[in-house]
Structure formats: structure tokens, C-alpha cells
């Protein structure tokens, strides 16, 4: 039987090296005369035990005979491969093969040329144009054409002719025995051997299709058996042997399938349920019935693979893990395109073993595994999430569709980011990590392990796993206290200081208040909390505070998000002479954070950072006069494009002014930014919240309560218009009655 070819369901890899081609399109008997004598697959298998030939990976088995087999390529090419030596012969496009015969037919219009690929006879050309324009080639049975011909009386059915050309004379034999008034629109032929074929047709009964199978003896062109085929349809697969007739039922409404088996010329039929299937093929092999689901859809199914059921004992044997095409090779052998987990996809000979149980032997390999495999992998070893350009793309390409689970685990904390990604049309599963954990907190700096696991959707073969390491270094930022390089928000409520991860708080909607880390009590003792950066010379950013007696303190950063600050270290007293103090990074180009302070007389003072915890600032240097017109100073970091930081100042009328840093602790002449800034109680240079490389401002209302949406002003990178229009940032809802301050 020559089953209808089905689409290749497996993701095909790049085509492997093609075997040597002995000739181009067959135009004369000489190119087919390879000198190979007819052989059975069994004999050829012994010769190929040491070296199994390799076929192109886009091959499709479409014909087979004693000396070789016919394959079709995705690009329309056809070729014949000999069992004996694996030599391949190219054939014209549109070639058609048959079963149990070395013949191949190549068609061009109404002309059909039959080639004997064993070399035993010369090509034979038959023109069926005399049968009318509607005559079409259905199949090839040995060297005989099976032709469908419209009826001359204009009725809906079609007649079947067997056309051959022995001794140079065309012999046309219409098949007799088909009911002239029953053959309707559908009539399909399936060749079971060079001597027999089965015709599937239906008659219309009460406006419904009533399906039948007719067995035709090719020698006499006569129907020798006919029976009703229950639960058949247009795509029903029929198989025939010397003793049995069987067909695959069309799937029921619930997706279940069964095979109907009957002894030849006996009325009774045995129905064998098999489970769920979409495109089940079947083939008889002696007293065994072979079957398998050819559509390996993305879910496990016991019908995948090639199984054989004994029609005498009921024993079932599974010999292949996948099956694409099942073809009869002889009364006791099959030739099957399929695969095993161990040997991959190829053409297999199925025959009884020494104990009579069917076994599979690889005849030709396609070099294509049927199990899930990783074909390509692209995973970086380093990541820096300070800007969106640093987002990490992790990609794997697989040999078949799957879903990949990807885990990135911070070694020190155990916090992780997980993805589940399906493969795309190219077989790739990709995850783009934007530097957040699953709980939306910013990923910490440090070492990570990653693990990718993927299971075959169809359940065939084992899962695959890949592991590796990755290091994140997003640097440090003056307003970051969790070793992530991303700004944090500091909020004082009553006597406690709370640290909010800015990406979690600003980038995502939340029900209620975003969660925060409580840095402990005792913070109401301070009237100034500054975030200049790493002033102590250690790795992490520190806090600088002034208590109500005028003493300045350093709270060394720990880099631990759960306990962000160590015990404070006293810097010195007398700082209550200043009405405002600010700091945010380097102002003089030496890489160390500095402070700027305005005294009660309007003098502006510069404190150069030393990087020494014991004496973190050099003696002050006066850099300006008249700063008592401002009620708010904010060191912003670099918002104007210069290497060092800048300053914004709010006057008592609510106008905000920009002072660009000169790089020596002093500032250029002021530039007006805009008015209305007296609406805010706090203006904080939080850093780059949007990962665009530009520092931003956050502000909260004069009420002193963070009970409304914070105002976010994103940096533009243009010193003439340094901030974009106000945008709502987040809502932080402390308990009622809490007095809160944003730092």
C-alpha cells in the first residue's frame, strides 16, 4: 500500500551532506542501468551493518522496491537510493513510486515514463491523452498505471483504468466489478503490491456517504472482493494482505480512533480501539498489523511510534518511537520512515526476528535525532543593568518545538528570576532579562547560576538541561543601598527609615503600598539625611546625617538589602550653622563624593570628599555668596552633560534654577528651569529611575504626608530643558498619622 504523504511534523535542521548523484533527470535507459542486481532489504541490511548511508534531512520516503527506495525532498527533487551501496540517482520532479517494486513513474502532462531502477529493463513511456483531458494518474502498481477517467456518459462518478505497455504496445483495461451506479465523487487508490490494489469509494445513501473498499486483482483488472467500510472518510488508510483487510476509522467526535480488521472474503469485522489519534497509518505484515500516529503533536500519546499487533495472539510490540510513513516491502517485511531515541530518524526495515517477534533495523539514516536537543545556545557571562541597553538576552535553539523554563538564581541570596518561553517558528526560545527578580525587586550585583530545562512536548525522549554562571555588575549609585546599582527611595515614618526599591515602586502598579525594608528606629534624631554616595571609601553607598545638635554622622552602607546601614560613625560637630546641606556624587572630578552647604548668611561652602572614614571631608572652601535667596538646594548628579555633578536651587518664590558644575566644586551662572516648585515639600535627586542614563527628580507635596502620588521629573539630558513634564510615579501609603519625609 502506498499511503498518502503527510507533512513533516518535526523541525528540520540544516540539510546534511547529500550523497553522490550518479545521474541527472532520467532521459534514457542508460542512466537507470546502475548494474545493481535485485536484492531484498534483508540481504542489504547485512551488507550495511558497518556503514549505514546518510540521507538528506528533508527526505520523505515515497516509494520502495527490492533494490532500493524513492525519496522526495522539500524542494521538489526526487532520488532513488540503492540498498546495496547507498548510491543515489536523481529523478525528475513529480516522480511517483510504488510498493514492492523498483519502478518509478515520472510525469509531464499526459505523458508518463516508467523507469525500472533495478536496471533490468528500459524506460517505458505511455501517453494517456487518448483517455481525455480529465484522465489523471492515481497510482503506479509495478509497471502499470492506475488512471482515473471521467465517465463518458457525463455521470458524476469516474472509471478506473489499468494502463501498461508490454512489448511496446499500450494495453488499457478498465476495472470491472465496480458498481456503475455507486461510485460517487470520491475514489482513491492505494497500491498494496504489484498484483493488488484497493479502491476506496462511497455511494450516497440518504444524502450521506456510505463507504466501501474494493480489492482489485491487477492481472485481471477485476474486483475480487468488496465490503462496506464502516466509519471511513476521504483520508481513510486501507491495508491489504493475502489473508486480511484492514482500515483505520476516521477519528470519533472525542478524538478516539480504531482499526477495523477482517479476514479476506469473510463478512465479520473485528474492531480494535487504539486511543486518540489524528493521522494514524496502518499496514499489514503477515499475521501482524502495524500502526502508528504520524502527527506527533505537542502532547504525549501512546500511539506515537510504530507498534505491531499479532492478529493471532494479540501480542503488541513497539519497534519505533516515531513514525512518518509505513510501506509494505514484502509479505513479511515493511519499510518505514520513522525514528528511535537511540538511532534517530531514518528508513527502517521491519521484519520478524529469530523468535518471530518484529524488530527494526536501520537501513538509512537522516542524521536527525527525534529526541529534543539544543542546537544553539547564546547566554552572556556578564550583565550590567544600569541602562536598558544592558538587558540580557538568553537564547536557545531546539531541534523541535518545546517550552523552556529558565531560572537565574542569585548565589548569595537565593533570589531568582524565572521564565517559561515557547519556541518560535525558528525553534528559538528566548528570554530577555531586564534586571528584575520575580518579586520585581532589582537584581543584586554578584554571581548567578542559570538553569534551562526543556521537555519534549510529545513526551518522546528525555528532557534537556543546560546550566551555567553569570555575573551581574551594575555598579554602585549614590542613592542605592541594596548593591543593585538601581536607586532606592528613602522615606522616614515616625522614628523609622524605610528603603523602597525604586524599580519595584515606580515601574509597576501595586495594590496598597509597595513593600519596603525597615532600616530601624532612631531616625527622628536627624534633621538632615543626605545621599552623597560612597564617602567612607568602602564599596557601598553611605548615608550622611546631621542630628539636631549639629553633629554630622556617616552611616556606612553594607550592600545588604535587609540591613542596609551599619552603626553610625561621628564626623564632627558645628554643622548646624548651615541652613541646607546636599550631596550627590562627585563635584570636582576626583571620583569621590562631595558636599555643598549654604550657611545662614548666604555663603556657599564646598566640602571635598577624601574617601577616609575617619576624616571623610577636607576643610571647607567658600565658593559663593547670596545663596540665602534659596530655601532648597539639591545636588543632582550630572544632568547637564559635563563630567561632574550639577546643582538645582529653589528660590522663595518657587522658581527652580540650574547651576551647572564646572568640575572644581564651583558652578556656572544659573539658568531658570521653571516656576511652581514651592508646591513640593521635598525635592530629591533620586538618580536614574528609568535606566535611560539620565538622573531624575522625585518630589512630594507640602502636606508632609506621602498620601498622594509622588511627582516624577525625568531627566532629558538637555541642560536647557533638563527635566520632562511631571509624571505620576507611585503612591506610598503609610499608616494613618505617620509623618513622612522623602530623602
Judge whether 131 and 160 are in contact, CB under 8 Å.
Answer: no
Q: How far is CA 349 from CA 83, 325, 354, 362, in A?
A: 11, 12, 15, 6
Q: HSE, CB side, 13 Å, CA atoms: give it for residue 334.
A: 35
pLDDT classification of 186: cutoffs 50, 70, 90:
low
Quick: pLDDT tens for 437-489.
999 999 999 999 999 999 999 999 999 999 999 999 999 999 999 999 999 99
> Does residue 127 surpass a pLDDT of 90?
yes
Residue 427 predicted with pLDDT over 70:
yes
User: What pLDDT is stored for residue 207 in this prediction?
Assistant: 64
User: Quick one: pLDDT at residue 546?
Assistant: 97
- At residue 19 the predicted structure's pLDDT band, cuts being 50, 70 and 90, is very low
pLDDT band (50, 70, 90) for residue 152:
confident
Instruction: Find the mean pLDDT for residues 712-716.
Output: 92
* Inter-CA distances, 435 with 388, 416, 417, 691, Å: 9, 11, 9, 11
Handedness of CA 47, 52, 54, 57 (dihedral sign): positive
Of the chain, the end-to-end C-alpha distance in Å amounts to 82
What does residue 390 show for φ and ψ, rounded to 5 degrees? -90, 0
pLDDT value of residue 739? 54
- At 5 the three-state DSSP class reads coil
Mean pLDDT of the chain: 87
Question: Which range in 24-38, 193-207, 369-383 is most confidently predicted, on average pLDDT?
Answer: 369-383
pLDDT of residue 7: 37
Instruction: Point out the least confidently predicted range of 47-56, 238-247, 359-368.
Output: 47-56
* Nearest residue to 490 via CA among 737, 698, 307, 668: 698
The CA distance from 554 to 545, in Å, is: 7
CA 709 and chain centroid, separation: 40
The pLDDT tens digits for 224-253 are 999 988 888 888 899 999 999 999 999 999
The pairing of strands 496-501 and 517-518 is antiparallel
**pLDDT tens figures, 616-672:** 999 999 999 999 999 999 999 998 877 789 999 999 999 999 999 999 999 999 999
Kindly state the percentage of the chain with pLDDT values over 90: 72
d(CA 127, CA 350): 37
Give the closest residue to 682 by CA, choosing from 631, 607, 647, 610: 631
pLDDT digits (tens, 9 = 90+) for 308-356: 999 999 999 999 999 999 999 999 999 999 999 999 999 999 999 999 9
Predicted confidence at residue 44, as pLDDT, reads 40
Query: Rounded distance, CA 632 to CA 634, Å?
Result: 7
Q: Give 275-294 as a DSSP string.
A: EE-SSEEEEEETTEEEEEE-
Q: What is the mean pLDDT of residues 204-229?
A: 87
Q: What is residue 731's predicted lDDT score, i.e. its pLDDT?
A: 59
Tell whether the model's pLDDT for residue 407 goes beyond 50. yes
Average pLDDT over residues 690-695: 92
- What pLDDT score does 493 carry? 83
> Residue 48's pLDDT is what?
42
**CB–CB of 259/274 below 8 Å?**
yes
Amino acid at each position: 500500500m502506498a499511503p498518502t504523504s503527510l507533512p513533516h511534523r518535526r523541525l528540520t535542521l540544516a540539510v546534511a551532506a547529500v550523497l553522490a548523484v550518479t545521474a541527472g533527470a532520467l532521459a534514457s535507459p542508460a542512466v537507470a542501468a546502475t548494474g545493481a542486481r535485485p536484492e531484498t532489504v534483508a540481504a542489504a541490511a547485512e551488507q550495511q551493518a558497518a556503514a549505514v548511508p546518510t540521507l538528506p534531512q528533508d527526505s520523505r520516503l515515497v516509494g520502495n522496491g527490492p533494490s532500493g527506495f524513492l525519496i522526495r525532498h522539500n524542494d521538489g527533487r526526487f532520488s532513488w537510493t540503492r540498498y546495496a551501496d547507498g548510491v543515489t540517482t536523481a529523478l525528475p520532479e513529480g516522480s511517483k513510486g510504488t510498493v514492492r517494486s523498483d519502478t518509478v513513474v515520472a510525469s509531464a502532462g499526459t505523458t508518463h515514463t516508467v523507469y525500472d531502477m533495478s536496471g533490468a529493463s528500459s524506460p517505458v513511456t505511455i501517453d494517456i491523452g487518448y483517455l481525455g483531458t480529465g484522465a489523471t494518474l492515481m497510482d503506479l502498481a509495478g509497471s502499470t498505471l492506475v488512471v482515473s477517467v471521467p465517465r463518458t456518459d457525463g455521470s458524476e462518478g469516474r472509471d478506473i483504468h489499468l494502463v501498461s505497455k508490454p512489448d511496446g504496445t499500450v494495453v488499457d483495461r478498465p476495472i470491472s466489478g465496480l458498481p456503475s451506479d455507486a461510485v460517487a465523487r470520491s475514489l482513491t487508490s492505494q497500491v498494496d503490491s504489484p498484483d493488488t490494489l484497493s479502491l476506496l469509494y462511497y455511494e450516497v445513501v440518504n444524502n450521506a456517504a456510505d463507504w466501501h473498499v474494493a480489492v482489485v486483482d491487477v492481472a485481471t483488472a477485476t474486483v475480487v472482493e468488496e465490503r462496506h467500510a464502516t466509519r471511513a472518510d476521504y483520508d481513510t488508510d486501507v491495508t491489504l494482505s493475502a489473508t486480511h483487510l484492514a482500515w483505520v476509522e476516521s477519528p470519533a467526535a472525542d478524538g478516539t480512533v480504531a482499526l477495523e480488521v477482517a479476514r479476506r472474503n469473510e463478512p465479520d469485522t473485528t474492531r480494535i480501539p487504539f486511543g486518540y489519534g489524528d493521522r494514524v497509518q496502518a499496514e499489514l505484515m503477515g499475521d501482524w498489523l502495524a500502526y502508528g500516529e504520524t502527527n506527533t503533536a505537542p502532547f504525549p500519546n501512546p500511539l506515537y511510534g510504530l507498534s505491531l499487533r499479532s492478529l493471532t495472539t494479540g501480542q503488541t510490540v513497539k519497534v519505533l518511537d516515531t513514525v512518518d510513513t509505513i510501506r509494505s516491502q514484502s509479505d513479511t517485511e515493511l519499510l518505514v520512515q520513522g525514528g528511535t531515541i537511540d538511532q534517530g530518524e531514518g528508513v527502517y526495515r521491519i521484519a520478524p526476528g529469530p523468535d518471530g517477534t518484529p524488530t527494526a533495523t536501520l537501513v538509512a539514516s537522516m542524521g536527525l535525532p527525534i529526541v529534543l536537543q539544543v542546537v544553539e545556545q547564546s547566554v552572556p557571562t556578564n550583565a550590567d543593568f544600569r541602562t536598558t541597553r544592558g538587558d540580557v538576552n538568553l537564547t536557545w535553539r531546539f531541534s523541535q518545538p518545546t517550552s523552556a523554563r529558565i531560572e537565574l538564581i542569585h548565589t548569595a541570596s537565593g533570589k531568582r528570576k524565572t521564565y517559561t518561553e515557547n519556541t518560535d517558528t525558528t525553534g528559538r526560545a528566548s528570554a530577555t532579562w531586564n534586571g528584575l527578580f520575580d518579586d520585581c525587586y532589582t537584581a543584586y550585583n554578584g554571581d548567578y547560576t542559570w538553569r534551562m530545562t526543556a521537555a519534549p512536548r510529545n513526551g518522546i525522549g528525555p528532557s534537556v538541561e543546560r546550566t551555567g554562571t553569570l555575573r551581574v555588575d551594575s555598579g554602585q549609585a549614590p542613592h542605592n543601598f541594596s548593591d543593585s546599582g538601581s536607586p532606592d527611595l528613602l522615606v522616614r515614618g515616625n522614628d523609622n527609615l524605610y528603603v523602597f526599591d525604586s524599580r519595584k515602586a515606580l515601574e509597576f502598579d501595586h495594590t496598597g503600598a509597595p513593600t519596603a525594608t525597615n532600616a530601624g528606629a532612631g531616625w527622628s534624631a536627624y534633621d538632615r539625611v543626605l545621599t552623597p554616595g560612597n564617602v567612607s571609601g568602602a564599596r557601598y553607598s553611605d548615608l550622611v546625617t546631621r542630628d539636631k545638635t549639629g553633629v554630622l554622622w556617616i552611616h556606612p552602607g553594607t550592600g545588604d538589602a535587609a540591613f542596609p546601614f551599619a552603626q553610625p560613625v561621628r564626623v564632627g560637630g558645628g554643622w548646624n550653622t548651615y541652613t541646607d546641606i546636599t550631596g550627590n556624587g562627585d563635584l570636582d572630578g576626583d571620583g569621590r563624593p562631595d558636599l555643598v552647604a549654604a550657611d545662614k548668611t548666604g555663603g556657599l561652602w564646598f566640602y571635598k570628599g577624601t574617601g577616609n572614614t575617619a576624616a571623610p571631608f577636607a576643610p571647607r572652601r567658600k565658593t559663593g555668596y547670596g545663596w540665602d535667596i534659596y530655601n532648597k538646594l539639591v545636588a543632582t548628579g550630572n544632568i547637564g552633560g559635563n563630567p561632574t555633578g550639577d546643582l538645582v536651587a529653589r528660590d522663595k518664590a518657587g522658581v527652580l534654577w540650574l547651576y551647572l558644575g564646572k568640575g572644581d566644586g564651583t558652578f556656572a551662572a544659573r539658568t531658570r528651569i521653571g516656576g511652581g516648585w514651592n508646591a513640593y515639600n521635598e525635592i530629591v535627586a533620586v538618580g536614574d529611575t528609568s535606566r535611560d542614563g539620565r538622573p531624575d527628580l522625585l518630589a512630594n507635596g507640602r502636606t508632609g504626608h506621602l498620601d498622594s502620588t509622588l511627582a516624577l521629573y525625568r531627566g532629558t539630558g538637555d541642560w536647557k530643558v533638563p527635566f520632562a513634564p511631571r509624571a505620576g510615579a507611585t503612591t506610598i501609603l503609610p499608616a494613618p498619622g505617620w509623618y513622612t519625609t522623602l530623602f
